[in-house]
Chain A
Amino acid sequence: MKRRDFLKSSLAGTAAFTMAGLTAMLPNRAHAATINVTLAAQDIFKTLVDGNSVWTWRFNDINGTGPGLLDSGLVVREGDTVNVTVRNRIDRNINFEIPGVMAGTPSVSPGSNRTYTFTAPAAGSYFYTDGVNGELSRAMGLSGPLIVQPASGANQLYSGGPSFDRQYTLVMNELDDRLNSAISNGQSYNLANYEPNYFFANGLSYPSTPSDADTLIAMNRGENVALRFINTGIITYPMHFHGYHVKVATRNRTPETRVIDKDTVYVGVGECVDVILPVTQSGMFPLHTHYVPGVTNDGSYSGGGLIIMNAA
């Protein structure tokens, strides 16, 4: 599916729920909404940037999956009631969890459906995943971003928090294709041997990243740009900015008070880190993990979750 069609279908599919909206604000509305979403948990082959095909687990938005390996995402507003129906079509029990919000939810067996309901928590960046299979699910890709916007509708990371002129969500994760092969063959894989060889930003690897409008960081000098790093993988991401220092605003929704001015922002396993980038100069600059093996596609440089910032 082309990106444009994806945007269209998901916008049309469910009012007030968009995936494209990872970069946009929801329309203003007077009251909290009830949002119904259906995610198909599927095991399917995905083609990577170098043509390699790997067996993965996805949460697919039935109204249209995204580009690359990011197949769903939720953007809601504080206080919204969210009903997520999970259709489990993979070969084992899973559930739907939001670290920091809800854990230990009932599982759904293969071939069954279950609806998980939550009230959108305090504004900030989150992700959802399966908690039954732990890190294996994140290594296989069974996760997605959850952005909660302030009830006020303001362009703020949280009510009264830092404001911004525009925002981008950057979901960072990776895979070790030996693990994917083992799972596809019905074998187990010792996560102690996990050494990833593909790396992603919003499910894309460079050179595909700057071709996606949600992943190319387009901005203007003088603006403040919010970047939401959501680490759904199982390795750490020290994200280095060329050209700029940023202000670390929150780490797992908690305001950062001490180590604020950074050019390299650590995003730990399972962490969500929101930063404000003051665009102090024009130009085109990379943004990438300084675990530089993560700037490759199966050992080929440059690739991985390399992001391009372009400031007019």
Chain B
Amino acid sequence: MFNILKEPLMMRRGGGGTGGGGTGGGGTTPSGGRTFSYLTAPTSVTVNMNGSLTMANGASVSTWYFTNGGGFNGDRTVPSPVIEANQGQTVRVTLNSMMPHSIHFHGLDVDQQNDGVPATSFAVGGMGGAGSSYTYTFTAPHAGTYMYHCHVDTHQHFEMGMYGTVIIRPADGSTNQVWAGGPTFDKEYVWHLMTFDTSWHSGMGGMGGTILRRYSPNYFLINGRDGASVITDSTTAITAGAGQRVLIRINGTSYMPGRIRLGGLAFDVVASDGRPLASPLRTTELQVNAGERYDIIVTMPSSGQNNATVDYRNIRNNATLGTARTTVTVA
């Protein structure tokens, strides 16, 4: 039996990783129906391990994240910026890092060489590592919502915030249709489900040392905001005209499942994990588990405001651990 542990089975070779310089747009501001900043592939990111987020109660939580000068919304370190490409396109994303990190393109079914797992491919950066730069290359398979994240010491690096969303647009680049021939929308949100166990973030100035076991989150967020801050956050709180169709790309970047409710408003679940459902599901609540993505479309009512909630639930018995609250408002 081979020993998968002794050393990386594949070292970085050929193909990519020669360029240290970034290409592509950095921190592009929202456009179309978007409510978030985004990078367009080909692009490049670096890693910042000196970040922080301020919680609604004033507490500061240390964060690590991918960046290209901007972030998810320019005003916060995590989530990392959205990366966009079109279906069928050869996608190139360069990671520049002196410390050991990687990018796993979660759900994009890339080949082993570009999978970003140290045990089966390699990390970028670090002593004896594979250099300080690599260009991940793959073909975008299907329009939809995906995730990217660091896969080095994943339990820690992911919790610190090294994740973002990949949106694959239809081949024509349309920003008002989920996939070619699929449902249309007028406005678009990305909701990163997020929790923090701040004991996992403390004392993280250096590497290692702290044993991270028994995850018990104490902050419950959407898009890096918690408590009162998330209720009106422009990337999360939904505002749209009566009758408009709003797409929410829900990304399960919490270790805990989140139960989504839009205050009783019905919505259509149209896709999950970058694939259309066999038939859309109309519902008023949806559980999104760690690593899953769901695309939902809500048609705005004629008037008024609804309170939306994400209940983060215990993986053992579905008891609610904490709730992130926001709003759905007819403009």
Contact = CB atoms under 8 A, between A and B. Distances in A.
Contacts of A195: 214-216
A263 B155 contact: no
A245 B278 contact: no
A245 B155 contact: no
A262 B288 CA distance: 13
Interface in A208-239: 210-211, 216, 234-236, 238
A201 B108 CA distance: 25
Interface string A272-303: 00000000110111100111110110111110
A238 B291 contact: yes
Interface in A254-282: 257-264, 266, 269, 280-281
A120 to B, nearest CB: 30
Given A259-B277, A286-B119, A207 B106 contact: no
Interface range, A side:
35 or more
Contact of B289 (A236, A242, A260): A236
B289 A281 contact: no
Contacts, number: 146
B303 interface: no
A142 interface: no
Interface in B262-278: 272-278
A298 B213 CA distance: 6
B292 interface: yes
B228 interface: no
A262 B275 contact: yes
B277 A258 contact: yes
Contact of A291 (B1, B272, B315): B315
A244 interface: yes
A220 B246 CA distance: 42
B106 A263 contact: yes
B255 A293 contact: yes
Interface string B281-297: 10000000111100000
B273 A245 contact: yes
A162 to B, nearest CB: 14
Contacts of A236: 257, 289, 315-316
Interface in B95-141: 104, 106-107, 109-112, 115, 117, 119-120
A196 B276 CA distance: 35
A117 to B, nearest CB: 33
A235 B109 contact: no
Contact of A300 (B211, B279, B290): B211
Interface of A: 176, 191, 194-197, 207, 210-211, 216, 234-236, 238, 240, 242-245, 257-264, 266, 269, 280-281, 283-286, 289-293, 295-296, 298-302, 308
Interface of B: 1-2, 4-5, 9, 104, 106-107, 109-112, 115, 117, 119-120, 153-156, 158-159, 211-216, 252, 255-257, 272-279, 281, 289-292, 315-317
23 contacts: A197-B214, A210-B4, A211-B1, A235-B315, A236-B316, A243-B115, A245-B274, A257-B279, A258-B278, A258-B281, A259-B277, A260-B275, A263-B273, A264-B291, A284-B9, A284-B112, A284-B120, A290-B255, A291-B315, A292-B158, A296-B212, A298-B211, A301-B156
Question: Which 9 pairs show the lowest CB-CB distances between chains A and B?
Answer: A290-B291, A299-B213, A283-B112, A261-B275, A290-B290, A264-B291, A238-B289, A299-B211, A195-B214
